């Protein structure tokens, strides 16, 4: 009887799915962190990534995103001039000491926000774009909702104040960071180590020290208050792969930076992007009783997938010999399977690239007649 029970237990364990690991065994001191790859959005590591908290100046990732999107949509140019209001000039904390009535280009305003986390410039840009910071913050929250940031709410554009209604999570910061670095133009600002404004009279030094010493660092934004502690969204790119490491509420700037470096280095050391296509054109597929004899094919889904390093990808196409009409564009017709080292990486739907209507009764009759006479 014991042998039977033991055998059943063994079979049960073999059939049961393996427990899903929460992430690699990395030493991350911060209470909340996440590592995300930009192209795919895949998460490689997370620790309390959905725990809401005050983000301090990491808030300005959303501020910069709205500025860059508006600029690229033609609302204004980098050379347009912003006039600082008395309210903008009154802001302290990290700032460049704007004076009421001071004129500064959008380019320099954005540079100050990205490099030294200037609260006064963030407010000046919010007022320039929307008339008031309150109206700008409304747009911040609308954009957060559009990005699906379920645990984020903004009450200001700088991250200087915590009123209990200003919060986000490591995961949401990673998502908004991913959206920001899709705009390559922002990296002209976030990768600056040292610069100046006011004709060289006021020097700027990046608050994100990884820009100086971490290979491939592309930004992105630091944050600190006594409430939020030390926060950072760090991005880096090597060999066409870019990672986002978000560290929230670290105890010291050194531990925050070390956590970000640990996460980024783990991604670069262990993973790579592989294309979900071998580059060869897909075949056309014969169509039965269609107004066209064949249908072109296309792949549905992302162009790349993140996979462990080692081995070359192998591609296997599974398609029927023919398909019956009617067909709709985007209709799945087969599968492209991708493996690396024999391990499955992805299954990509192969779909109809265009509509193919079915021939009518007259067309079917004519087709049958032609087949009878051997044509």
**pLDDT per residue over 130-167, tens digit each?**
999 999 999 999 999 999 999 999 999 999 999 999 99
**pLDDT per residue over 190-224, tens digit each?**
999 999 999 999 999 999 999 999 999 999 999 99
Q: How far apart are CA 354 and CA 357, in angstroms?
A: 10
DSSP for residue 119: H
Q: Is the confidence at residue 168, as pLDDT, over 90?
A: yes
Question: Where is average pLDDT lowest: 9-18, 35-44, 321-330?
Answer: 9-18
Residue with tokens 């309150």: 134
Please provide the distance, in angstroms rounded to a whole number, between the alpha carbons at the two ends of the chain: 73
Catalytic residue among 32, 94, 117, 233: 117
Catalytic residue among 38, 47, 60, 111: 60
Question: Is the Cα torsion angle 183, 186, 190, 191 positive or negative in sign?
Answer: positive
> Is residue 60 annotated as a catalytic residue, yes or no?
yes
Tokens of 293: 């004899």
Indicate the pairing of strand 241-250 with strand 229-238: antiparallel
For 103-117, b where at least 16 C-beta lie within 10 A, e where not — what string? ebebbbbbbbbbbbb
Catalytic residue among 32, 38, 57, 158: 57
**Mean pLDDT estimate for the chain:** 90
Q: How far apart are CA 332 and CA 351, in angstroms?
A: 4
SS3 156: coil
Q: Where are the alpha helices (DSSP H) in 195-249?
A: 210-213
């Amino acid at each position: 009887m014991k042998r039977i029970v033991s055998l059943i237990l063994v079979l049960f364990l073999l059939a049961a799915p393996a427990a899903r690991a929460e992430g690699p065994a990395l030493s991350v001191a911060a209470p909340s962190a996440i590592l995300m790859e930009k192209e795919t959005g895949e998460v490689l590591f997370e620790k309390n990534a959905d725990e809401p908290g005050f983000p301090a100046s990491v808030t300005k990732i959303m501020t910069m995103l709205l500025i860059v999107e508006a600029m690229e949509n033609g609302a204004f140019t980098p050379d347009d001039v912003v006039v600082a209001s008395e309210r903008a000039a009154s802001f302290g904390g990290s700032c460049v000491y704007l004076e009421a009535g001071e004129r500064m280009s959008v380019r320099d305003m954005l540079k100050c926000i990205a490099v030294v986390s200037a609260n006064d410039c963030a407010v000046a840009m919010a007022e320039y774009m929307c008339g008031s910071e309150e109206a700008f913050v409304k747009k911040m929250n609308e954009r957060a909702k559009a990005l699906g940031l379920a645990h984020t709410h903004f009450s200001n554009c700088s991250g200087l104040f915590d009123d209990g209604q200003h919060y986000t999570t490591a995961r949401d910061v990673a998502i908004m960071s991913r959206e920001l670095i899709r705009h390559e133009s922002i990296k002209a600002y976030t990768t600056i180590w040292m610069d100046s404004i006011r004709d060289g009279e006021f020097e700027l030094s990046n608050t994100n020290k990884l820009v100086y010493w971490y290979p491939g660092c592309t930004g992105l934004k630091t944050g600190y208050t006594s409430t939020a502690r030390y926060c950072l969204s760090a991005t880096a790119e090597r060999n066409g792969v870019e990672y986002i490491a978000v560290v929230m509420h670290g105890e010291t700037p050194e531990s925050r930076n070390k956590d970000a470096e640990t996460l980024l280095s783990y991604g670069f050391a262990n993973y790579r992007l592989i294309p979900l296509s071998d580059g060869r054109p897909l075949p056309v597929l014969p169509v039965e009783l269609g107004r066209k004899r064949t249908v072109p094919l296309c792949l549905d889904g992302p162009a790349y997938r993140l996979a462990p390093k080692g081995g070359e990808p192998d591609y296997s196409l599974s398609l029927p010999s023919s398909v019956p009409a009617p067909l709709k564009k985007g209709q799945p017709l087969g599968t492209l399977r991708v493996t690396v080292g024999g391990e499955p990486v992805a299954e990509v739907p192969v779909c109809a690239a265009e509509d193919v209507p079915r021939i009518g009764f007259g067309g079917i009759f004519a087709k049958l007649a032609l087949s009878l006479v051997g044509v």
